[in-house]
Structure 1
């Protein structure tokens, strides 16, 4: 759904000030793409809080989500171009790495603030009670899905990493039911294969947890819960830090919820000698 559709859908519910925002967004999308909520409000003579309430009325968790959608719809550069440009804008000096990492910290903070506490707790409960858990992520989302499935597998049994390139996905989907939870990671550019698989999973009545870069990403149509990950640009590269931080929060929440089960699995791991797999590190002199 494009921004025009959203504004048209909610226009009659808007206050006079919010309608002023709506009209300005449609006429000058560049401004909302470039300015903060406070700067944008000051530019058209309204308060920052009005801009934020306008964003919430359209269904966004905050102004940054609205800004992200506007950028995606009105600026057509590729995600890699967007990522490259954002890094080129950073002054190249001795503290370059600190500035890049500071951007990551800000993205983590923004993601933390827009994750709904009730939705998070509901997701943890579903994962805890699930008889089986599946994780799907393709292309740029593949490494994250791989890490998440491995980490969840340390906490509970029957965690599966879906690999369409090496397995019969249809057969895997037929094993899912209402007692299954499926985590689907999907970022811009949104792969059709991911969305098509999500549609098939939906028919199995499994519970779907979506993780994406926007509440209006295509995966939202199939998700019971959708967690938005903030990134300053469209690139999945910029979302890596907040994405892994949030996935770590999911694993940690499940460990707390499944404390006894986790300790049993940990003890089982420790009974198996790993001397032929792992090398002990040496202490620095």
Structure 2
């Protein structure tokens, strides 16, 4: 994370004497309500404090940013792990207003997938796939809402590999107990989005210290998971809501499963052929049909 990102509020505070009257209005609003300002367009921010959109744009330039979006991104990065659930609800309510909730949420998810597709580093993705395929053991870790992604990834990887460890996270001590034997030939996949899990970050640092290949699935290079990872896969999530939007991360997980499955194509075909035979032999399909009736 750049110093400009970390210190934006300090920069604004220290620059207050040099600002024009309109710029001071913007500055005070950001200092008092940065959680809301971070998600406002330049036009919306201008209307909120009764200045023109061009004044907002010039304010960003005055702070040293190459445009308003850069300043907005810096604000978002700063608060990424600081918003409380109450603040998330307030920001979400402000953003939604009187709009159709169904349309807004789905359009937002579509946009997150589009941004993830455009920004995913293909080399990092291939290296992550290579590391997974050559690993002695594959540990998968995700807590809170990220646990659903970890379970999903673990379910399909468990069909493809016989060396999967889905780390259960009842307590911090349990995580380290399950990672006790992690080593240089292993891969640890850590999944977390704002607000980031300190348990996941600590476990990833431990695995990296033990020489393991650590893959982070997170939302930003500024994420603490990225700092602890040897490879980082980025998926956009929406933190300005008490509900974590995991559509783009799930799509990236899907791509990872398919890429690994394609490289193990013959094995995967044999696995499902064996499963079909077992299901048929033990009457699994018949049982399902009976239950449905």
TM-score range, shorter chain: 0.7 to 0.9
Quote how far apart the aligned CAs of 1:244 are.
Answer: 0.8
SS at match of 2:187: strand
Q: Choose between structure 1 and 2 for higher RCO, CA contacts under 8 A separated by at least 6 residues.
A: 1
Matched, 1:34 2:40: yes
Matched, 1:125 2:130: yes
Query: Paired residue for 1:116?
Result: 121
Query: Cα–Cα, structure 1 residues 51 and 258, in superposed 2: closer, same or farther, change >3 Å?
Result: farther
Query: Paired residue for 2:288?
Result: 279
SS at match of 1:272: helix
Query: Paired residue for 2:159?
Result: 154
SS at match of 1:157: coil
Query: Paired residue for 2:12?
Result: none
Map 1:73-92 to 2 at 5 A.
Answer: 77-79=83-85, 81-83=87-89, 85-86=91-92, 89-90=95-96
Describe the superposition over 1:164-221 as per-residue Cα deviations: whole angstroms up to 9, x where unpaired.
3289544432332222111001222223222222222112211011112221111222
Map 1:1-285 to 2 at 5 A.
Answer: 1=1, 3-4=3-4, 33-35=39-41, 43-44=57-58, 50-51=66-67, 66=74, 68-72=76-80, 77-79=83-85, 81-83=87-89, 85-86=91-92, 89-90=95-96, 96-165=101-170, 168-235=174-241, 237-273=243-279, 275-276=283-284, 279-280=288-289
SS at match of 2:127: helix
Greater gyration radius: 2
Query: Would you say the 8 A contact 1:183–1:209 is kept in 2?
Result: yes
The alignment's C-alpha RMSD in Å is: 3.9
State the TM-score, normalizing by the size of structure 1: 0.72
Quote how far apart the aligned CAs of 1:259 are.
Answer: 0.9
Query: Would you say the 8 A contact 1:126–1:181 is kept in 2?
Result: yes
SS at match of 1:227: strand
Distance in 2 of aligned mates of 1:257 and 1:165: 34
Query: Would you say the 8 A contact 1:33–1:70 is kept in 2?
Result: no
Quote how far apart the aligned CAs of 1:116 are.
Answer: 0.7
Query: Cα–Cα, structure 1 residues 164 and 281, in superposed 2: closer, same or farther, change >3 Å?
Result: same
SS at match of 1:209: strand
Alignment gaps of 5+ in structure 2: 9-26, 43-52
Aligned residues: 254
Query: Would you say the 8 A contact 2:39–2:72 is kept in 1?
Result: no
Alignment gaps of 5+ in structure 1: 9-26, 56-62
Query: Would you say the 8 A contact 1:230–1:242 is kept in 2?
Result: yes
Describe the superposition over 1:146-175 as per-residue Cα deviations: whole angstroms up to 9, x where unpaired.
111112222222111001328954443233
Query: Would you say the 8 A contact 1:178–1:204 is kept in 2?
Result: yes
Query: Cα–Cα, structure 1 residues 80 and 130, in superposed 2: closer, same or farther, change >3 Å?
Result: farther
Quote how far apart the aligned CAs of 1:40 are.
Answer: 8.4
Query: Cα–Cα, structure 1 residues 170 and 262, in superposed 2: closer, same or farther, change >3 Å?
Result: same
